[in-house]
Amino acid sequence: MSVSMPSFLNCISDDDFAHYEVDDYQKCVAKWCSGCGDFGALNATKRLLAKEQLQPENTVFVSGIGCSSRFPHYVNSYGFHGIHGRALPIATGVKLTRPELDVFVVMGDGDCCSIGTAHWIHAIRYNMDMTVLLLDNNIYGLTKKQTSPTTPIGFSTNTMPRGSYLPPLNPLTATLGVSNASFVAQTADWIPAHMYATLQAAYEHKGFSFVRILQRCPKFTPDVFTDAVKNPDNNELLVHENGIDAPGLEKLFKNRIIHDPKDLDGGRHYAEVENRVRLGLFYRNGELPCYEDTREVVSVTAAEKIQKINTEFDRYAV
């Protein structure tokens, strides 16, 4: 919190005047390798928090285990650094019981698409209002270069030294294939403007906003995105008046696809990879049911509860 109140305003609580700068959202210095794409994601996120002026005490970041899952330690908010693959159940418990909190989830590709797959599929369908970042470096970073479900075929790792055997899993088409999927976007850590705009759109969306962030790992997959980084011409940007709009991208991306994010079939089509990276909003539908809304609870006083339990006992009375 950065604004100190003049003493004559003591009667007004700090909170009413609290204003947060980007740096106010930093809890401590992030400890990732230099050149790690996670820094970009953290910076874009902090910018978003400042833009939205989210109150740190009413914001929760939940993660699993992995390099990327260290994320909550670096954000000044409540955080839950959980266990590998299980960020989403924890986040579900938080959002379901405290829907007023802003919930963000950060996962790695192993975390979300391998060990946590069951939760991922079901969380998409629950469509709870949370912003979900998949930091996809195509590798297990923390445990030092094992194949992940998104590792490119043929890519050599410590567990598949002669190259990964199978084509990678596509987190975008997988997500778009699940009933009740409501927001699917892809961005890249090396295009800060696009990443920020994507997170902004994800945050604004009511529902499970799934953002796959192509994330460079300088240690273990330094080259998987090199072509995409060096030759933006080989990338394609999904654009639309209802899509994600980031200033200054016209020059960078010559190849643009006009895609209405309402169009699910189109989104699925463009999410299929054809040897090029596509960034943008594949699908968005703000009309789909959110699980927490269907589970709203009434408020009942203790005295009322006691009365109800006693009525319950009457059913069992001897």
Partner 1 sequence: MTSSAPALAKGEAKSELNDSLDTGAKKVFCVPEHTVEIIANSGEGAQKCGQIFGSVSAKMGNGVWTVEIIPAEIEPPPRHVTSTSGNLIRFGTEQITNWGDRTKLAVAFNEQVLLSRHRLDSLDDECIILVEDMWENHDDENIRKEWATAMEEMSSANYRIVKVPIEEESLKIVDNPHHGKNMFALGMLAEVYQRDLDLIKKQIANIFRRKPAKVTELNIALVELGIQWARENLDFQFDVPAKVHEEARVVMNGNQATALGAIAAGMEFCAMYPITPATSVSHELCDIIESYGGMVHQAEDEIAAAGVAIGASYAGKVALTVTSGPGMALKTEFMALAVMTEMPLVLVDVQRGGPSTGLPTKVEQSDLLAALYGQHGDAPRVVMAPATIEDCFQSMITARRIAETFRTLVIVLTDANLATGVQQFPRPQLDERWQEAPLDLSAVPEGTLPYDWDHSTGLSRRIIPGQANGQYTVTGLAHDEFSKVSYEPESNELGCNMRSRKLAVFQSTLKPPTVVGDEEGDLLIVGWGSTRGAIEEAVGRARADKLKVSSCHLTFMSPLEPGLKEIFSRFKRVMTVEINYSDRLGDPYITAENRRLGQMCWLLRAHTLVDIDCWTRVPGQPLRPGDIHNAIVSHLENGAAS
Ligand X SMILES: Cc1ncc(C[n+]2csc(CCOP(=O)(O)OP(=O)(O)O)c2C)c(N)n1
Q: Residue 146 to residues 150, 164, 305: CA-CA distances in angstroms?
A: 11, 10, 53
**Per CB under 8 A, does 93 bind partner 1?**
yes
CB of residue 110 vs ligand X: minimum separation in angstroms? Answer: 3
Q: Which does 142 bind (CB under 5 to 8 A by kind): ligand X, partner 1, Mg ion, none?
A: ligand X
Considering beta carbons, is residue 86 or 259 the nearer one to ligand X?
A: 86
Place of tokens 């006691």: 306
CB of residue 180 vs Mg ion: minimum separation in angstroms? Answer: 26
**Per CB under 8 A, does 118 bind partner 1?**
yes
In the three-class reduction of DSSP (H, G, I as helix; E, B as strand; rest coil), residue 237 is classed as strand
Of 65-84, which residues contact ligand X (CB under 6 A)?
65-68, 84
CA distance 307 to 261: 51
236-239 and 278-284 beta bridge pairing: parallel
CB of residue 142 vs partner 1: minimum separation in angstroms? Answer: 12
Of 128-147, which residues contact ligand X (CB under 6 A)?
135, 137, 139-143
**Per CB under 8 A, does 242 bind partner 1?**
no
CA distance 113 to 111: 6
Residues 30-69 vs ligand X: string with x where CB under 6 A? -----------------------------------xxxx-
Task: Quote the strand ranges of 189-316, DSSP E.
Answer: 208-214, 236-239, 256-258, 278-284
Burial 65-100 (b: 16+ CB within 10 A, else e): bbbbbbbbebbbbbbbbbebbbbbbbbbebbeeebe
**Is 224 in contact with 189 (CB distance < 8 Å)?**
no
**Per CB under 8 A, does 192 bind partner 1?**
no
Q: What single string gives the DSSP state of each residue in 109-134?
A: HHIIIIITHHHHHHHHHHT-SEEEEE
Q: Which does 111 bind (CB under 5 to 8 A by kind): ligand X, partner 1, Mg ion, none?
A: ligand X
**Per CB under 6 A, does 221 bind ligand X?**
no
| DSSP 8-state symbol, 295 | T
CB of residue 196 vs ligand X: minimum separation in angstroms? Answer: 21
Among 40, 54, 102, 109, interactor with Mg ion by CB under 5 A: 109
Among 36, 44, 49, 101, interactor with partner 1 by CB under 8 A: 101
Could you tell me how many residues of this chain bind ligand X (CB under 6 A)? 17
Of 248-287, which residues contact ligand X (CB under 6 A)?
none
Cβ within 8 Å of residue 3, ≥6 positions away: 14, 17, 18, 19
Angle at 181 between CA 179 and CA 187, to 5 degrees: 145
**Per CB under 8 A, does 269 bind partner 1?**
no
Q: What single string gives the DSSP state of each residue in 129-192?
A: SEEEEEEE-SEETTTTSEE-TTSPTT---SS-TT---SPPP-HHHHHHTSTT--EEEEEETT-H
Considering beta carbons, is residue 58 or 158 the nearer one to ligand X?
A: 158
Considering beta carbons, is residue 8 or 316 the nearer one to partner 1?
A: 316
Considering beta carbons, is residue 117 or 285 the nearer one to ligand X?
A: 117
Tell me which residues touch partner 1 (CB under 8 A). Answer: 15, 27, 55-58, 60-62, 65, 72-73, 75-83, 86, 88-98, 101, 118-119, 121-122, 295, 297-300, 302-303, 305-306, 308-310, 312-313, 316-318
Residues that bind Mg ion (CB under 5 A): 108-109, 137, 141
